Structure 1
Amino acid sequence: MTDIDTLTRADLSDRVHGEIGLARADAARIVEKLLSEMCGSLSRGENVKVSGFGSFILRDKGERVGRNPKTGVEVAIAPRRVLTFRASQITRDRIARGH
């Protein structure tokens, strides 16, 4: 992994290459295809569930009133769609154990 402990696409490709033994180019294509399929599903409004890992869930937030933190003036915040992630119990347990 990189210096700041961020898992990148390149890291994922390297791990697929190392674990499965695929050519680096093939491993990179698999990672790209997987991410592309996930993004495509989300852009079509579909939630994505990766069994044993977690779910990427789309939520629609309604219009609401917020405040400008500097001035305190109320501002209307437009409705929007947000993406959330909910880790599976397996993933939460693994994180808690530190693996």
Structure 2
Amino acid sequence: MVTKDEAVRSAQTFLQQVVYPDRADSIVMRPDTAIEFTYGWTVRFDFKEHLETSDPSYAPFTSVVVVPHDGSAADFAPTSMPAAEYMALHASGNWPSRKGQ
């Protein structure tokens, strides 16, 4: 099981090293909004520029990172559904497989 602090660190590493290495100093983690689900944690983040100006053009396209409890790599939740629904589908085993793609 991944703790909340570990999930926040994992999400931050994912964002700073994989997704936004050119904006690593701009990433602001929001550990107060982390939510634990059976499948793992959702952790929100924002960009410093968005927080300082409230200008939506500075906001991240998606602000939810998923950190699975099983140690799998952090990734973004899909934007096509609420994060809680995505997490419930994973926990139930009903998330579509990529087999045959």
TM beyond 0.5: no
TM-score w.r.t. structure 1 length? 0.30
Normalising by structure 2, we get a TM-score of 0.29
| Relative contact order higher in (CA < 8 Å, ≥ 6 apart) | 2
Computing the radius of gyration from Cα coordinates, the structure with the larger value is 1
